[in-house]
Amino acid sequence: MGISVTTGEHDYTLDSKNRLVVPPSYREALLRENGPHFWITTALGDDPCLWFFLPSQWEKLLEDFNEQTRNVKDKTEVRKLRSQIFGKASPVETDEQGRILVPHNLKEFAKLKKDIKFVGMGNKAEIWDESKYRKFESSAHTAMTKLAKELDL
Amino acid sequence: MGISVTTGEHDYTLDSKNRLVVPPSYREALLRENGPHFWITTALGDDPCLWFFLPSQWEKLLEDFNEQTRNVKDKTEVRKLRSQIFGKASPVETDEQGRILVPHNLKEFAKLKKDIKFVGMGNKAEIWDESKYRKFESSAHTAMTKLAKELDL
DNA sequence: TTGCCGTGTGGGGAATTGTGGGAGAAAGTG
DNA sequence: CACTTTCTCCCACAATTCCCCACACGGCAA
């Protein structure tokens, strides 16, 4: 399946009505999947960004989650995790101009201002406030440089 | 099977007459199911919140309950659980503005004040007092971060 | 060049949604 | 019985959301 679709950086602006353009390649991919809508949610790690999925990518995430939590004995823990995944996620459709509406709580979570980075990651996309992304990128770069030295590549 | 309906966080206020708005997507789902009403009851486990169901979700809960308690030896415990879930359950209809009336005992159980979080969980929704939910959320988030690393998401 | 199309950005206005309150009906109380 | 309280069915209204339309810009083909 086309990993080529979900790569690359895209610069957009979040307007006063919280609308955000989805890259054309994603819209085409949605059509190819006959999907009804995208999925958007908070990042599950430590990064203050949002995750954005095609239907197939979202299904995959759910499968992985079910797989991983299948043999957890204490189901209250699993319920907590469910609340993180489902509780934050929203299905989003594009308008005629190819824009989605970013839910308030997600905009809040990722501290999105006006300038937005849309970053393809293969199995998902990430949505970043542009200034936050620059900081993250540079720190990621130094960490990577460090690792590169140790790896003797 | 539209799991897509019951997701996301929704902020509402419980008014002086114990009325609470149901998110529009749930109302639409009820119409699609030709259902007469929603179901509301106390949560199982330790969480001081309410559970809220579409008719189809309620049916599913019934089945799952019977299924999973079939080979429990101590039937007294099963009866207690059953009365906990089904005994306190109420069918609830929306008024013209899309609000349900929260039963006294349930409001009491979940310690609901004014600010309410309505949280979709895929197979149900949870109704939380907003301040209680914030605490629960932070503990859930750390658990999720841990899992995210293990899952390599 | 000129015209056309896809794309990104903005805005107006109608429709929906969320919140509150009033008046009468029903139910509980002395 | 009278009287108070609680419900229930309305109505009102502000805020938000949704559905269009407008337009600038750039690539591309005739």
Reported pTM: 0.89
Residues of B within 8 A of A87 (CB-CB) are: 7-9, 119-121, 126
Give chain B's mean pLDDT: 90
Q: Averaged over B84-104, what is the pLDDT? A: 94
User: What is the rounded CA–CA span in Å between residue A5 and residue A104?
Assistant: 27
Q: Averaged over B105-114, what is the pLDDT? A: 94
- Above pLDDT 70, what percent of chain B? 95
| Burial of A31: CB neighbours in 10 Å, binned 0-12, 13-18, 19+ | exposed
Q: Is the pLDDT of residue B137 over 70?
A: yes
Q: Which residue is nearest to nucleotide D21 (CA to C1')?
A: A96
Give chain A's mean pLDDT: 87
B95 touches strand D (CB under 7 A): yes
Q: Residue A153 — pLDDT band, cuts 50, 70, 90?
A: low
Structure confidence by residue, pLDDT tens digits, B139-153: 887 878 777 777 666
Q: Which residues pair with A110 in a beta bridge?
A: none
Answer with the residue of higher pLDDT: B153 or A79.
A79
Q: Residue A136 — pLDDT band, cuts 50, 70, 90?
A: confident
Pairing of strands A99-101, A19-21: antiparallel
Determine the distance between B84 (CA) and D5 (C1') in angstroms.
Answer: 30
Cβ neighbours of residue A59 under 8 Å, at least 6 residues apart?
A: none
Which residues of chain B approach chain A closer than 8 Å at the C-beta?
Answer: 4, 6-9, 45-47, 119-122, 126, 136-137, 139-141, 143-145, 147-151, 153
Q: Is A21 helix (H, G, I), strand (E, B) or coil?
A: strand
- Whether B151 sits inside 8 A of A80 (CB atoms) is no
Q: Dihedral sign for Cα B11, B13, B18, B24, please.
A: negative
